[in-house]
Chains A and B, each alone.
Chain A
């Protein structure tokens, strides 16, 4: 093995192994603090610099927690399967760390990697992501089973049922993006969204994003889908019998999985590292990426502080009767509208392009008069060029400029585009509402009697 290879491997993996666990520490602090504020508390505020009275808003809390976890006694129940009990937290962490590799994070030091390490460039990164993140289910079942505790077992069973069910809408909502881009490569998906062409701005992308996020909550066992670790019912679920560092590993694995799945949501729908000021400072793309991840995680924390938990049957019904049909319908709609839109708009934009190319192609004919440019022609051509580049946002900008100047074809393009988008939004809304009416329980507030 050459020095080059080792350097590449280190450069590719060590940042992931350092950045995300430190972000985990910060997230635990953020979660504690945010939950505390939601609940009228202050949260950690004393654990700052040791041996001083400087609190630093409790920023030292994660470190203190970590130290505590390491020094706690590691308890293995007598009847437990010792090997599996040990392996489960490790197995929970590995897939979570592994799928981080598939995120199209562009670190500034990436240019020092000579290209022998190809982990980021996997052609089927999205499929790999789902395949490997599914392994976390096994770890959870392993933990639940190996603990020889009935609460753990119940938690494990719940986890398996829940994660298997929610994987389907998760995958199906990602399919929409894969369809639009025509690639499973995370990098290509990210590139397709540069210049604020985020898929979340399209109707089907928005629907898919919402479905994806809900399913991601269930995949990472976050409230309101935290049944596998439902405290009020089954103590701590599958990690009831874990203490000390093994528990910390589970905790770490869970948060890394949250990062990973939020990262995938960011990649698929929120434009990956896309954001402002990228031309002057390309390194900002990592910052935008992580900031978006934190945005999603903040929503997760907010939900945790707000919502009660679903029951098992309601959870399953929600996945199978609402999310699954809606995501399948969304794929159908995305295909229809995308290609309907594309056929119509592409023809018009080709016509625009043709109108300027035509004189040049027929320049041999002597008598041909140069056509007088229509008002807004230049902008329309820019729009058409952006359109062929699949840069919808740029195309929209230029077409609107052209339309403002009275360019008829641009107007028709914009009309068609917005018409189809509005239509598909309405159709999606109606569909969601209908499914909701079919699958929701009949629960509603009641009136009560009073005796004087």
Chain B
């Protein structure tokens, strides 16, 4: 892995005058997924040094939340990982619900699962599209992915009024019930989704170029992944069977039968990360089918006042977000506002291993490794 660096030193010792090419990739770069920057030093095409630089999208999210009531920062969580506003909402609601004892109605629990799994589909579909785009397939897989994403975003819009910034969850339930016929439309979508996955797998998963570009690139060992606190599909691609939906069984996830795909941990390369997401989508579809079959009628939100004063306490609510463990850590001091509000962003923590994965690779590898980590700068910088 550090061969390239050694090689470079060797050249220096022999007295050949070579110099590294230092490139600042970003913040405006087509494939840094937002305003992320990598300071890369190249020996020819080989990456010998990489320094991630971020903070260009810092919006004071945490401090803002500490200066407003609990509920009013719910819309702000949408903007964290703006692809997955539903799961962000849920993680925050989960944390706050630990502060105030409240019963979440059955129908709301089911809808939460449905929304979260739809969000997972949205995220993974987009990620796979962008990932192949980073590999150089000019837009085609991305447009196919966006076709499916749009259908799901239509559903979100019908339910919450917004396509991306849904702001749909409330402490103790959901903001409003889904409109009439929504569940049928969702069932239809879920029934048709495996066909899309089949098409995608057929087109991509055995493509010679994709295989040779992604396999053996950006290896992440199981030890490093655990030590760095990597979570989500990336951790499972490195061979750790760890999924909060199974571990915590938050919400009503214990009622559904689904499997967690993971690897044997031999490689943990970009191909594994890509494939784990492809496989996870099938499991999400399985969950969705069960949830849509079992969903009862009933209330949508428990009895909670909009402004409340919880007893002083420290709580941590976490969910298995599409990108990894998304956690909200709240310290209540008895007022209407949190004393401390802290987000555990999976994007940022997964990003910490970027340098280790990129060193010794080619510059084209660095781009797809970044793509396979799946970051959203709204969440990295907050």
Contact = CB atoms under 8 A, between A and B. Distances in A.
B211 interface: yes
Interface of B: 21-23, 29-31, 42, 45, 132-140, 143-144, 147, 205-216, 241, 243, 246, 259-264, 271-272, 275-276, 279, 362-365, 367
A-B pairs, top 7 by smallest CB distance, nearest first, are A309-B136, A443-B211, A308-B135, A39-B143, A232-B31, A308-B137, A450-B259
A309 B272 CA distance: 19
Given A35-B138, A311-B212, 15 more contacts: A35-B139, A41-B143, A150-B22, A154-B21, A154-B23, A231-B31, A233-B363, A235-B30, A304-B138, A442-B215, A444-B211, A445-B205, A449-B263, A450-B262, A451-B259
A446 B31 contact: no
Interface residues of A, number: 43
Given A39-B140, A153-B21, A448-B262, A232 B134 contact: yes
A305 interface: yes
Interface string A318-361: 00000000000000000000000000000000000000000000
Nearest to A444: B211
Contacts of A224: 136, 209
B147 A40 contact: yes
14 contacts: A35-B138, A39-B143, A40-B147, A151-B23, A230-B136, A234-B363, A307-B209, A308-B209, A309-B213, A440-B208, A443-B208, A448-B263, A449-B263, A451-B259
A450 B212 contact: no
A313 interface: yes
Given A441-B212, A450-B260, A451-B241, A312 B45 contact: yes
Contacts, number: 132
Contacts of B275: 446, 448
B362 A308 contact: no
A310 interface: yes
A237 to B, nearest CB: 12
A306 interface: yes
A43 B289 CA distance: 36
A314 interface: yes
A38 interface: yes
A73 interface: no
A316 to B, nearest CB: 10
A309 B207 CA distance: 12
B261 A448 contact: yes
Contact of A446 (B30, B133, B209, B272): B272
A232 B30 contact: yes
A310 B262 contact: no
A448 B276 contact: yes
A314 to B, nearest CB: 6
Nearest to A305: B140
A311 B213 contact: yes
B262 A150 contact: no
Given A440-B212, A449-B262, A40 B143 contact: yes
Interface in A74-122: none
A34 to B, nearest CB: 11
B138 A223 contact: yes
A28 to B, nearest CB: 15
Contact of B365 (A227, A310, A311): A311
B264 A449 contact: yes
Contacts of A452: 259
Given A444-B211, A446-B271, A306 B140 contact: yes
Contact of B213 (A35, A154, A305, A314): A314
B132 A308 contact: yes
Given A231-B30, A445-B206, A307 B137 contact: yes
Contacts of A254: none
A254 to B, nearest CB: 15
A226 interface: yes
A223 to B, nearest CB: 6
A41 B140 CA distance: 10
Contacts of A309: 135-137, 209, 213, 364
Contacts of A314: 212-213
A230 B213 contact: no
Contacts of B23: 150-151, 154
A224 B135 CA distance: 10
